[in-house]
Chain A
Amino acid sequence: MYGTRIHIEGAYTGLLITRPAKKLSRKPVIAIVDDDNSIREALDDLVMSCGYQSRLFSSAEEYLADQDGASIDCMLVDVKMPGLTGIELQALLNEQATPKPPMIFMTSYSDNQTRAAAMKGGAFAFLGKPVDFGQLIQCLEKALKH
Chain B
Amino acid sequence: MRSFGLANPKRRLSNYEIGAVSFAFLLAATVFYLDTFTEIQSALATLYVITLLLSAETLTEKGTLLLAGICIGLSALSYIAGHGLHGDLAAALRLTVAVAAMVITCLLIIRNQRARLALIKFNADLQSSEERYRTIFEQSRVALWERDYSQVRALLMKLRENGVSDLHAHARNNPEFISDCIACVPTVAANAAALELLGHVDARNIKSMRRYIAQDDATFLDLMVAIFNSESYFEGKGAIIASDGTTKLVLLTVGFPEDVANFNRVIVGMFDITEREMAQKALFEAQAELARASRAATIGALSASLAHELNQPLGALVVNAQTLQRWLDRDPPDLAAVSRSAERIVRDSQRASDIIQSTRSLLGRRNPVIEPVSLIDLVSETRALMEGELLRSRVAFETSAASDMHTVNAVRIELQQVLINLITNAVQAMAATPEEHRRILVTIGSADGQEVSVKVHDSGPGLGAEILQNLFKPFCTTKESGLGMGLSICRSMLEARGGTLTAANHTEGGALFEMTMPIEAAVHE
User: Which residues on A are within 8 Å of B, measured CB to CB?
Assistant: 1, 4-5, 7-8, 11, 36, 38-39, 41-43, 45-46, 48-50, 108, 129-131, 133
Contacts and interface: CB of A to CB of B under 8 A. Distances in A.
B340 A4 contact: yes
Contacts of A4: 336, 339-340, 343
Nearest to A50: B326
Given A45-B320, A45-B340, 6 more contacts: A1-B343, A8-B337, A39-B319, A42-B344, A48-B337, A130-B319
B351 interface: yes
Given A36-B312, A39-B316, A130-B314, A49 B340 contact: no
A36 B316 contact: yes
Interface string B321-350: 011001100000000110111011001100
B343 A131 contact: no
A110 to B, nearest CB: 12
B308 interface: yes
Interface residues of B, number: 26
Contact of A38 (B312, B337, B341): B312
Residue among A1, A7, A11, A45 with most chain B CB within 10 A:
A45
Given A1-B343, A38-B348, A38-B351, A45 B337 contact: yes
A39 B309 CA distance: 12
A43 B319 contact: yes
Contacts of A48: 337
A133 B318 contact: yes
Interface of B: 307-308, 311-320, 322-323, 326-327, 336-337, 339-341, 343-344, 347-348, 351
Name B's interface SS.
helix
A2 to B, nearest CB: 10
A122 B269 CA distance: 82
Contacts of A7: 336
B316 A49 contact: no
A39 B311 CA distance: 10
B315 A131 contact: yes
B344 A41 contact: yes
Contacts of B351: 38
Contacts of A11: 336
A45 B343 contact: no
B348 to A, nearest CB: 5
Which 10 residue pairs spanning A and B have beta carbons closest together?
A: A38-B316, A42-B319, A130-B315, A42-B316, A133-B322, A49-B326, A108-B311, A36-B312, A46-B323, A42-B320
Contacts of B322: 46, 133
A131 B315 CA distance: 7
B311 A130 contact: yes
A59 B101 CA distance: 133
Residue among B314, B323, B344 with most chain A CB within 10 A:
B323
A108 B337 CA distance: 27
Contacts of A131: 315, 318-319
A53 to B, nearest CB: 15
